[in-house]
């Protein structure tokens, strides 16, 4: 009952907060339900908290299924907030602490990347210098049990929920490892696992640096970005491809700091416009303060999962003609959330303002339909512009009201259903290859993951002998036998998949990611667009000099 009262009080508090911030008129819409459990003479003095509790009692007593009052109250709070917009949210104690932890670029667990393949959940990679890495877990290990519970039918999410936990607490992981006759059990003590913003940074080709800033904007993003720029510059970088694909956003100050690295002093980065009521600011502008910005040409990659803080960076660089934007239209999340800490360790994010790019474009796309599924899933990736037109510093036309539209539209590589099945088969074959179990190819055996080593062009060649062995593997595995005829038309795809899994097992997730990037159509188009970015940077520099005369 204590937990029940906790949720009721939170619901009551949220209603009051929402009424104060939104200026809405509150009324007791559940009085009709309360009549069934309270004598009429008590109705005039009924409180909102009592009404909520009465409604819970009626539902708990009469609903056909079993539903906890806590779940009912949490759903009611979320429903109220989602009437406002898709991004205002309530977090219970556990969720709020997880959000806070991830903002500090870490979480507590063991440090593995996992996914469910055709039959079980597998470890795809271990993160260097984490408990899992130190304990000896490997890419390709199939997870059989967690803390003694069978995990063979679990989803990836279920495994993650069991593996994560309090720092310093042990967790038992039982795995199947090919080449080892019996399952292996590891007792691992949970610890902080880093969540860096930058996934990888390297010279993608001579003179062209590549930085994948795909992990969100957290407290370490600015430092990571400066370090990556300095390291690549020392390696001879003359132009940069900044990859913001899949970046969901994060902390506004970090987005401002990243954009500041590329813009000249006093250039506008973003405007935040809200309401003056209740102590808020009607408008606030963030401007660059850097006196020595990075001035080499830049190409920025975005996709439909680039949102919020990543759109601030892309929009600022596009509006000032500081970068050429390549990829798909971004998500269009331009609502600003303020974080409120609530009693009992809970939290609330409430939309208080909107983001606008330097040219005045509103980043936020429409959510007038009110359906969360439609808002999050039914996105358009077409090139047709929408919203009000604006101009960049050199007079190029850009559009607002639906995210950032790329200067060069390039669709991503997509997998067919058949290719997804071939991908599962390639993963299964790679496990056998890395375990040294494929006759005649024992030289592909991988003893351990060496995270410090860099992948070279000649590592793990997928020769005709390897492909022949893959065909034999398919023939002798009942679940994959029907795929043998699909090998020839998909041979390049299969070769890339096998090499990616081997590189990951040998050198870690970053090495496998580089194999994947080698055939990425959006990255290849971004590299090809570098000369255009050079010309754009020159025009922007001349335009800036002309304005400042």
**What is the pLDDT, as a whole number, of residue 23?**
37
How far is Cα 371 from Cα 349, in angstroms, rounded to an integer?
Answer: 19
pLDDT at 125 over 80: yes
> For 286-392, where are the alpha helices, taking DSSP H only?
309-319, 372-377
pLDDT at 102 over 70: no
- Of the pLDDT bands very low, low, confident and very high (cuts 50, 70, 90), residue 546 is low
Highest-scoring range by mean pLDDT, 13-27, 29-43, 334-348: 334-348
**What is the pLDDT, as a whole number, of residue 265?**
94
- CB-CB contact of 247 with 216 (8 Å): yes
Kindly report the pTM of this predicted structure: 0.84
Token pair 């041979």: residue: 491
Of the listed ranges 228-232, 307-311, 393-397, the one predicted with least confidence: 393-397
**What is the pLDDT, as a whole number, of residue 91?**
87
User: Do 198-339+352-369+378-410 and 106-194 have the same topology in CATH?
Assistant: no
Of the listed ranges 138-142, 309-313, 376-380, the one predicted with least confidence: 376-380
- Of the pLDDT bands very low, low, confident and very high (cuts 50, 70, 90), residue 500 is very high
DSSP conformational letter for 135: H
For residues 337 and 467, the model is more confident at 467
How far is Cα 38 from Cα 139, in angstroms, rounded to an integer?
Answer: 61
**What is the pLDDT, as a whole number, of residue 313?**
98
- CB-CB contact of 483 with 421 (8 Å): yes
Q: What is the DSSP pairing of strand 198-205 with strand 208-213?
A: antiparallel
Burial of 133 (0-12, 13-18, 19+ CB in 10 A): buried
How far is Cα 349 from Cα 351, in angstroms, rounded to an integer?
Answer: 7
pLDDT at 377 over 80: no
DSSP code per residue over 216-249: -B-TTHHHHHHHHHHHHHHTT--EEEEE-TT---
For residues 214 and 103, the model is more confident at 214
pLDDT at 388 over 90: no
Element (H, E) at 174: strand 170-176
**What is the pLDDT, as a whole number, of residue 342?**
84
- Of the pLDDT bands very low, low, confident and very high (cuts 50, 70, 90), residue 12 is low
**What is the pLDDT, as a whole number, of residue 480?**
95
**What is the pLDDT, as a whole number, of residue 346?**
86
Of the listed ranges 138-142, 333-337, 457-461, the one predicted with least confidence: 333-337
**What is the pLDDT, as a whole number, of residue 310?**
97
Q: Interhelix angle for 491-507 vs 464-475, to 10°?
A: 100
Give the mean pLDDT of 523-531.
Answer: 97
**What is the pLDDT, as a whole number, of residue 24?**
36
Q: What is the 3-state secondary structure (H, E, C) of 14-72?
A: HHHHHHHHHCCCCCCCCHHHHCCCCCHHHHHHCCHHHHHHHHHHHHHHHCCCCCCHHHH
Looking at every residue in the chain, the average pLDDT score rounds to: 86
- Of the pLDDT bands very low, low, confident and very high (cuts 50, 70, 90), residue 549 is low
Share of the chain above pLDDT 90, in %: 62
pLDDT at 374 over 90: no
Give the mean pLDDT of 238-247.
Answer: 97
- CB-CB contact of 190 with 168 (8 Å): yes
How far is Cα 180 from Cα 202, in angstroms, rounded to an integer?
Answer: 36
- Domain range 106-194, CATH class: mainly beta
pLDDT digit string, tens, across residues 484-498: 999 999 999 999 999
CATH 3.60.20.10 for the 198-339+352-369+378-410 domain, yes or no: no
- CB-CB contact of 298 with 317 (8 Å): yes
- Of the pLDDT bands very low, low, confident and very high (cuts 50, 70, 90), residue 145 is very high
> Domain extents for the chain?
2-84, 106-194, 198-339+352-369+378-410, 417-519
pLDDT at 35 over 50: no
Of the listed ranges 11-20, 40-49, 276-285, 406-415, the one predicted with least confidence: 11-20
Catalytic residue IDs? 308, 319, 333
Share of the chain above pLDDT 70, in %: 84
For residues 52 and 168, the model is more confident at 168
- Of the pLDDT bands very low, low, confident and very high (cuts 50, 70, 90), residue 22 is very low
pLDDT digit string, tens, across residues 416-453: 999 999 999 999 999 999 999 999 999 999 999 999 99
pLDDT at 36 over 50: no
**What is the pLDDT, as a whole number, of residue 379?**
61
- Of the pLDDT bands very low, low, confident and very high (cuts 50, 70, 90), residue 94 is confident
Give the mean pLDDT of 509-524.
Answer: 96
């Amino acid at each position: 009952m204590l937990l029940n009262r906790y949720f009721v009080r939170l619901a009551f508090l949220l209603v009051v907060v929402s009424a104060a911030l939104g200026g809405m008129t509150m009324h007791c819409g559940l009085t009709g339900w309360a009549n069934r459990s309270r004598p009429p003479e008590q109705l005039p003095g009924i409180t909102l908290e009592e009404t909520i509790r009465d409604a819970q009692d009626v539902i708990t007593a009469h609903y056909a299924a079993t539903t906890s009052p806590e779940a009912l109250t949490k759903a009611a709070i979320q429903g109220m907030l989602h009437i406002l917009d898709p991004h205002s949210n309530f977090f219970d104690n556990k969720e709020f602490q997880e959000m806070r932890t991830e903002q500090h670029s870490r979480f507590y667990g063991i440090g593995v990347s996992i996914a469910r393949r055709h039959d079980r959940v597998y470890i795809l990679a271990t993160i260097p210098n984490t408990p899992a890495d130190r304990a000896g877990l490997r890419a390709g290990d199939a997870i059989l049990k967690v803390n003694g519970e069978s995990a063979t039918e679990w989803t990836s999410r279920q495994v993650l929920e069991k593996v994560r936990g309090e720092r310093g607490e042990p967790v038992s992981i039982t795995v199947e490892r090919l080449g080892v006759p019996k399952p292996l059990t590891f007792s691992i003590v949970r610890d902080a696992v880093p969540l860096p913003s930058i996934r990888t940074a390297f010279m993608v080709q001579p003179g062209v640096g590549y930085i994948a800033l795909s992990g969100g904007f957290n407290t370490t993003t600015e430092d990571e970005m400066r370090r990556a720029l300095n390291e690549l510059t020392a390696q001879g970088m003359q132009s940069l491809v900044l990859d913001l694909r899949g970046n969901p956003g994060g902390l506004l100050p970090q987005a401002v700091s990243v954009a500041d690295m590329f813009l000249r002093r006093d250039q506008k980065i973003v405007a935040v416009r809200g309401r003056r009521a209740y102590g808020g600011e009607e408008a606030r502008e963030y401007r660059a303060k850097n006196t020595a910005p990075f001035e080499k040409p830049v190409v920025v990659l975005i996709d439909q999962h680039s949102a919020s803080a990543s759109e601030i960076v892309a929009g600022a660089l596009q509006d000032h003609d500081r970068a050429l934007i390549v990829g798909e239209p971004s998500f269009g999340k331009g609502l600003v959330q303020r974080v409120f800490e609530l009693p009992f360790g809970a939290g609330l994010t409430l939309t208080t303002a909107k983001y606008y790019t330097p040219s005045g474009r509103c980043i936020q796309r429409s959510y007038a339909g009110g359906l969360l599924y439609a808002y999050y899933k039914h996105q358009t990736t077409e090139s047709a512009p929408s919203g009000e037109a604006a101009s960049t510093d050199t007079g190029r036309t850009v559009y607002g009201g639906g995210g950032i539209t790329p200067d060069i539209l390039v669709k991503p590589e997509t997998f067919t259903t058949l290719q997804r099945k071939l991908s599962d088969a390639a993963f299964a074959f790679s496990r056998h290859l890395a375990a040294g179990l494929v006759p005649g190819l024992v030289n592909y055996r991988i003893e351990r993951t060496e995270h410090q080593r860099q992948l070279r062009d000649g590592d793990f060649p997928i020769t005709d002998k390897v492909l022949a062995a893959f065909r034999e593997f398919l023939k002798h595995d009942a679940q994959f036998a029907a795929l043998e005829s699909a090998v020839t038309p998909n041979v390049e795809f299969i070769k890339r998949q096998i090499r990616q899994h081997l590189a990951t097992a040998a050198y870690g997730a970053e090495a496998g990611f580089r194999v994947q990037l080698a055939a990425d159509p959006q990255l290849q188009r971004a590299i090809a667009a570098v000369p255009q970015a050079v010309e754009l940077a020159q025009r922007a520099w001349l335009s800036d000099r002309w304005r400042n005369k």
